[in-house]
Structure 1
Amino acid sequence: MPKLAALFSPERAADVVDADTRRLLEDRFEVVWATAEHTTGPGSAAKPPALDPAAVPQLVAGADVLLTSWGTPHLGKELWSDGNGPKVVAHAAGTVKNLIDPVILDQGVAVFSAGPRIAWSVGEYCLASMLTLARRLPRFDDAIRAGGWKQTEYRGHELAGAKVGIIGASSTARALITLLKPFGCDLVVYDPYLTTERAEQLGVRLADLRETSASTFLTIHVPNVPETKGMISRELIEALPDGAVVINSSRGPAIDQQALLEHALDGRIYAALDVYDPEPPAFDAKTLQTPNLLLTPHIAGDTAEGHLALAGYVLKDALQWLDNGTRGPSFVDAAAWSIAA
């Protein structure tokens, strides 16, 4: 029976491994679970303890598969230096860029990431934010809490039929595209790597950055790489139509945050921010009180159901790869490493 090492704390295991997946693991593998003695400390309810890097060699010894998640330390290439390292790394979390060295992908190690499953949670967040801000719900909520009633100078708008600009055709963008289908929106995408054929399959039209940005709704879905830093510039923000709704659930540095805040504070546009530059943000009282902003603490991909599904999501693909070499949706392609999140 092949051996699998689960390289995360018991608390994280309870967060990302559901009961069915745990049974499947025990049926298919000799499983080595990390215990409290392998972690760096007690942690907290909000942040489970991380795995102690010193415990990794002991847990990994003889393992064919590594199951990882948040709190797993960086896995150095020395784990594969003798040519007999694990054949699979299945990451029950998002990006693997801080987890492994890309060189191991060239050594035949199959790596899987639950990023596409998290993408669905992010897509729901983006849709919820669009609808919330389009209907001006924070403003009306504030009015009720202050003892008011109708706000006759404000009227919400519908998402149906609107132009939605999507920056980056990542997995989160594709999840949102699926969710937007019933609304009959004009979906416009800027992504230099997206082909015309693939755009037609997605049911979107390609445009340049300027046209895509000049949308009633603008949503950002790009990785944190040098090419995306500041790509949504002050100039593009100034060109947004009045009343536009901007959603950033990807990476804070992708947008000129100061320019965005200025236009939200003067009431011209609305924005939902789940990511910031830097994190956590330190906003003044005026910024925190404006109803034109919906501010959340980097939780777009964080749902109870989504987290519990993560280990099962990557394990399914890892088992198919071990059984017949099939590459499922969570397979990490070495060719796409440079543009991955």
Structure 2
Amino acid sequence: MNKLAVAMTPNRADDVISVETRALLEQSFDMCWAGDDLTSSAIAELARGSDVLLTSWGTPQLGKEIWADGNGPKVVAHAAGSVKRLIDPVIFDHGVAVFSGAGRIAWSVGEYCLAALLTLSRKLPRFDAMVKMGGWKQTGFRGNDLAGSKIGLLGASSTARALITLLKPFGCDIVVYDPYLDNGLAAELGVRSVSLAEALSCPFVSVHVPDVPATKGMVTRDLIERIPDGAIVVNSARGPAIDQKALLEHALTGRIYAALDVYDPEPPAFGLDVLEAPNLLLTPHIAADTTECHLALTGYVITDVLKWLEDGTKGRSFVDPAVWSIAA
């Protein structure tokens, strides 16, 4: 029986391992569990001699020395999102297979983006603020339908694809800017591939790019100035992708609406003008933070790990070393 080392605290394990998945783990593996001591040395000792290392948020970066003696785990299963802060890609040279829960997280982020688009298109924060101040129907403004609208997505990542699926009943015209998206794949997704400027010219814009050098500051002040009046911008990806100062300046004039779940830096330090603006929806990097999403993460990766161990199948959570440089 393969040995599995759980490199997360008991509290985190309760957060990302459902009752059903825990039973599957105990049935499928000879298991050893970490305690509250998650130092690098403790994890290295835990990992030694294991076949699979199960990690999550809070697991320290895995040093390449874990694999130096050839006795390191042959699989890392990350019950969380990006593995870029967890592993050194040199471990791929040791034949280590890596799996990530990012695909499951993408669905929850997609739901957040849909909720944000609907919330701001119907101007619910403004109506909420008005009613709390004693106002009623004579507002001078009105919400808009999302159905049939043109939506620009920056990036064709897994979160973008989740949102595309969720938007299908709304009959939207979806365009995507992504230099790696060819016309064939765009057609499969039911979208059109366009330039960055055209994607940002839409009345609805959602950002789904990874945090890589090429995306830092990609939405410049000049591009923000060309976003149409009344447009809605949602950023659930990475704060540095957008000139945040310029975006907030345009939002505070009332010209555009924005839903921000990520910032540059985090946590942000905003004044009351930003915090009280009814055309801004601000959340603390929680787009994927749902009970169901967290509890599903270990099952999502372990199902693929078991198949990999059985016959080498690369499931949906497999991290392809070939796309490491452009991955989130």
TM-score of Structure 1 vs Structure 2, range by shorter chain: over 0.9
**Deviation at 1:58?**
2.3
Q: Please give the secondary structure, in 1, of the residue aligned with 2:153.
A: strand
Q: 2:45 aligns to what?
A: 58
Contact 1:6 / 1:67 at 8 angstroms: preserved in 2?
yes
Structure 2 residue corresponding to 1:177, chosen from 164, 176, 181: 164
Is structure 2 residue 275 aligned with structure 1 residue 288? yes
Q: CA deviation at 1:238?
A: 1.0
Aligned-pair CA distance for 1:131: 0.2
Matching residue of 1:16: 16
For 1:46, the equivalent position in structure 2 comes to none
Relative to structure 1, the CA distance from residue 177 to residue 268 in structure 2 (aligned partners, 3 Å threshold; closer, same or farther) is: same
Aligned twin of 1:203: 190
Q: SS at the partner of 1:222?
A: coil
SS at match of 1:309: helix
Q: Take 1:54 and 1:84, find their aligned partners in 2: how far apart are those partners?
A: 15
User: Within 1, Cα distance between the matches of 2:34 and 2:265?
Assistant: 33
Structure 1 match to 2:130: 143
Secondary structure of 1:247's aligned partner: strand
- 1:326 corresponds, among 308, 313, 323, to 313
* Contact 2:252–2:274 (8 Å) recurs in 1: yes
What are structure 2's unaligned runs of at least 5 residues?
none
Contact 1:106–1:334 at 8 Å: present in 2 too? no
Aligned residues: 328
User: Displacement of 1:84 after TM fit?
Assistant: 2.7
How far is the alpha carbon of 1:106 from its aligned partner?
Answer: 2.5
Deviation at 1:54, TM superposition (A): 2.4
1-structure distance, mates of 2:177, 2:148: 19
Deviation by residue 1:65-106 (Cα, 9 ceiling, x = unmatched): 000000101111111112232110000000101111101113
Assess if the C-alpha contact under 8 Å between 2:48 and 2:66 holds in 1: no
For residue 324 of structure 2, what is the aligned residue in structure 1? 337
Distance 2:278 2:180 in 1: 36
> Which of these residues, 99, 102, 110, is aligned with residue 123 of structure 1?
110
TM-score, normalising length from structure 1? 0.95
Please state if 1:157 is matched with 2:144.
yes
Aligned-residue identity in percent = 67
- Report Cα offsets for 1:103-155 as digits up to 9, x if no partner: 11132110000001000000000000000000000000001111111143110
Q: Partner of 2:7 in structure 1?
A: 7
Q: Equivalents in 2 of 1:265, 1:195: separation in Å?
A: 37
Answer yes or no: is the 8 Å Cα contact 1:223–1:251 preserved in 2. yes
Instruction: Find 1:215's aligned residue among 202, 208, 223.
Output: 202
1:161-205, Cα deviation, whole Å (9 max, x unpaired): 101000000010000000001101010000001111111100000
Does residue 234 of structure 2 align to residue 247 of structure 1? yes
The code of the aligned residue for 1:13 comes to: A
**Which letter does structure 1 place at the counterpart of 2:287?**
A
Partners of 2:89 and 2:44 lie apart in 1 by: 20
> Stretches of 4+ moved more than 4 A in 1?
none
Conserved? CA contact 1:77–1:101, under 8 Å: yes
**Residue of structure 1 aligned with 2:289, choices 302, 306, 309:** 302
Structure 2: which amino acid aligns with 1:186? D
- Give yes or no for the alignment of 1:133 onto 2:120: yes
**RMSD over aligned Cα atoms:** 0.8
